Amino acid sequence: MRYVAVFFWAIVLGQVAGFIGGALNQQIFNSQQTLIVTIIFAIIFSIIPLIMKNKDNDKDA
């Protein structure tokens, strides 16, 4: 359930950030491209804590 919430908020906040970033750069907002980038970053940021947790356990052993 935690990952569902992470992906939901990543998509919502990613769309907002993409819209604001596009407006600041005076470019057209592309929802599909923003969604793809948001999902990629959500996956990366969901995997990083798992990798770091495993590396911390390896140092203790």
Number of structural domains the chain divides into: 1
For the cut 60, the answer to whether the pLDDT of residue 60 exceeds it is no
CA 22, 23, 24, 25 dihedral sign is positive
| pLDDT at position 61 over 90 | no
38 near 10, Cβ under 8 Å? yes
What is the pLDDT at residue 56?
A: 62
Span 3-18, mean pLDDT? 92
Cα(16)–Cα(19) distance, rounded to whole angstroms? Answer: 5
pLDDT at 53: 79
Contact at 8 Å (CB) between 42 and 10? yes
The boundaries of the domain holding residue 42 are 2-60
Length of the chain: 61
Give me the mean pLDDT over the 8-28 stretch: 94
pLDDT per residue over 20-50, tens digit each?
999 999 999 999 999 999 999 999 988 988 8
